[in-house]
A = this chain, B = another copy of it.
Amino acid sequence: MTARVNINTLADIGAGQLPSMLVRQAVEMALAEDLGLVGDITTDATIPADAVARGVFAARTGGVVSGLDVARATFAALNPGVGFDAQVADGAQVAANTIVATVNGPARAILTGERVALNYMGRMSGIASLTRRYVDAVAGTGAAIADTRKTTPGLRAFEKYAVRCGGGLNHRIGLFDAVLIKDNHIVAAGGLELAVRAARARAGHLVKIEIEVDTLDQLDRVLAMAQTAPVDAVLLDNMTLDQLRVAVASVAAARASTGARIATEASGGVSLATVRAIAESGVDVISVGALTHSAPVLDLGLDFEG
C-alpha cells in the first residue's frame, strides 16, 4: 500500500466509522416513516421547487457531537444537490451555541429532511455527551466506560458509535461476538467449569469469554480454574465498593502467580454520582446501561439564514 500521506500519529483515527450502507439504509427508513406515501405536503404546497435556502445546525447547549454523517446522508437521500459542511468532527466537545454544520441548497429538501437529521443527531449526540460525562468522571483512574446491549432496537450500530464518540468503549455488539456466562447458564450447564468449557469449545480462539460473578466466592472459584477453564474477563455485578476492591486484588494476585490476564468489569448501581468511586476500586471497565437507554437528547436546532 502506498500511503501517500504522512502518518506520524494516530490522532485522526478516533471513533471509527459507521458502515456507509447502514447509514444510507437508516436514513431511508427514517425518511420513509416521515414521508409516507405523499411526502411533505406543507413544503410541497408552499415552497417553490427552485427555492434555495441556507441554514446552520447549532448546539443549543454544550455537549459532544455525533451523527454528522447521518445528517449529511439524510439530505443527500432527498436531493443530492444539498450541500452539507460539517464545522466540527464527530466526537468534538462543543460549547452552547456552537455551529456544528451548515447546510445549503434546495429549500424543499432541507425543510423536509430537517427533523430526521435532528432526530438522529440529537439522540446520537445525547449519548455521546452522556458518555463523555462518565468518561470525564473517571479520568485518571485507568477505568474505561463501556456500553451494554440496552440499546434502542434498530439503532445499535448508531448508539455504539455514539458511545465511541463520547470516548467510551463498546461492550460486545450482540449475543454473537463474545460469551457472557450468567447464573442461568451455569445452572443449566451443570456448574461453573462445565459452562466455561462448553463455551470455550463452541467459541473458537478469537472469541472472548466473560463470566458474571455476584460474590467473592464465585470469583475465587473462577480464578481457581484459570488453567483448566480460563476466562478473559469477570463481570462483578452489583458488588459493594469493598467487594470490588477485594475482587480486583484477587484478580491481580491470580495474575501474579499464573500470568493470566483477566479483565475486571463492574456493573450495577452505576451513576454519575457513584462512578468515580467504583473506578477507584481499580476495575478495568465500568459498564453503564444508562448511556444508551436513558440519555436525554442533545438540544440541536437548524436555523435558517437570510
Question: Which of A4, A30, A176, A185 is most buried by chain B, counting CB atoms within 10 A of its CB?
Answer: A176
Q: A16 and B202 in contact (CB under 8 A), knowing A174-B36, A187-B1?
A: yes
Q: Is there contact, CB below 8 Å, between A201 and B35?
A: no
- Kindly list chain B residues whose C-beta atoms are within 8 Å of the C-beta of A32: 19, 21
Given the known interface contacts A123-B293, A198-B13, the answer about A205 and B169 at a Cβ–Cβ threshold of 8 Å is yes
Closest B residue to A184 using CB positions? B1
Interface positions, chain A 177-222, Cβ under 8 Å from B, are 177-182, 184-190, 194-195, 197-199, 201-208, 210
Say whether A152 contacts B206, CB under 8 Å: no
Most buried by B among A10, A120, A188, A265: A188
- Interface residues of A toward B: which range? 35 or more
* A280 part of interface (Cβ distance < 8 Å): no
Interchain nearest-CB distance for A143 vs B (Å)? 11
Selected interface stretch from A92-100, A134-142, A238-246, A255-263: A255-263
This protein's copies in its complex: 6
Q: Are A26 and B153 in contact (CB under 8 A)?
A: yes
CB <8 Å contact, A44 and B29: no
- A177 near B206 with CB under 8 A, answer yes
Q: Which residues on B sit within 8 Å (CB–CB) of A45?
A: 13, 16, 179, 189, 195, 198-199, 201-203
Which of B47, B173, B210 is A188 in contact with, Cβ under 8 Å? B47
Asked, given contacts A39-B18, A199-B41, A284-B205, whether A176 binds B175 with beta carbons under 8 Å apart, the answer is: no
Q: Is the CB of B51 within 8 A of A35?
A: no
Give the contacting residue for A259; candidates B5, B51, B176, B259; CB below 8 A: B259
Quick check: A5 and B48 within 8 Å, CB to CB?
yes
- Cβ of A202 and Cβ of B21 under 8 Å apart? no
Residues of chain B contacted by A297 (CB below 8 angstroms):
150, 293-294
Pick the 4 closest A-B CB pairs, nearest first: A259-B259, A2-B306, A30-B153, A36-B176
